Amino acid sequence: MSFALSPARRRTAAAALTAALLVPLAACSSSDDTKKDTSGSTPTTSAAPKAQLTVLAAASLTDVFKTAGAAYEKTHPGTTITFSFAGSQELVAQVAQGAPADALVTADTKSMDKVKNDTATPVVIAKNRLVIATGEGNPHKIGTLKDLADPKLKVVLAAPEVPAGKYSAKILDTQKITVKPVSQEPNVRAVLSKVELGEADAGLVYKTDAESAKDKVDAIEIPDDQNAIAEYPAAALKNSKNTDAATAFVAWLSTPEAQKILQDAGFQKP
């Protein structure tokens, strides 16, 4: 037996069926819209921390931090890092004067201690040691620290207020060696530059500095019992406008990825 529907009832049934089919489609559309609102059209970029960081760093970190910064930016899309390199004493003075920056890395703990009220708790991220830098081929045949006392040699040192200058004075005083430098430079890179350009016969620099210019200078090792170990503490600055991002970068410096970059450049484990 069959039943025939009137035209009016057929129109009503068709409308009901159409409405029923549209409900799940609307739900799907609503769900998709919600996902777009929360994740955005480029989920990887929007999910990454975004910040423009300014990091004040010791001059001896110039080369390695350029490499480290590029590596960090690659794995943290949306974050860019600008480095300002100088002697640690200059960096500390900038922090004390309220210069806008997000993190600080010095070449000694004493410099960092001077601004402890302006930083989060610092962490040592690397160590370094001094070497004697000479012209390529070591033309004056310098072999030991005692050779630097020769008045015929033009020796350049970092200034006493610079970490490299303090370490240099310490090891020379301990060995009772008197050196009369022809100049005292504002940072260790300036010492290296004098030797590179032939304006000095020798200078005391960090091992990593000599390594960065190994095609222009020779590095004479200093025995452990006559040397000094430099420590590099890093800390986020309390006046940073990007506290989370600055803290994240400082923490990253202790990760295996960052440590490999530092050690490949000649820095020692912290």
Q: How far is CA 34 from CA 23, 24, 30, 31, 102, in A?
A: 17, 15, 6, 5, 35
CA 173 vs. chain centroid, Å, equals 32
Structure tokens at 246: 């600055």
Select from 78, 80, 79, 87 the least CA-distant residue to 105.
87
Q: Is the dihedral of CA 136, 137, 143, 149 positive or negative?
A: negative
Q: Please determine whether the domains at 48-127+231-264 and 128-229 fall in the same fold group of CATH.
A: yes
| Residue-by-residue pLDDT tens, the chain, 270 positions | 443 444 444 444 444 434 443 334 333 333 333 333 333 333 333 344 578 999 999 999 999 999 999 999 999 999 999 999 999 999 999 999 999 999 999 999 999 999 999 999 999 999 999 999 999 999 999 999 999 999 999 999 999 999 999 999 999 999 999 999 999 999 999 999 999 999 999 999 999 999 999 999 999 999 999 999 999 999 999 999 999 999 999 999 999 999 999 999 999 999
Q: Where are the domains of the chain?
A: 48-127+231-264, 128-229
Distance CA 198, CA 184 (A): 16
* Stated pTM of the model: 0.79
Pick the closest to residue 84 from 71, 97, 103 (CA basis).
103
Strand partners, 53: 81
Contact 60, 188 (CB under 8 A): yes
Asked: is 128-229 a CATH 3.80.10.10 domain? The reply is: no
Q: Which CATH architecture does the domain made up of 48-127+231-264 adopt?
A: 3-Layer(aba) Sandwich (3.40)
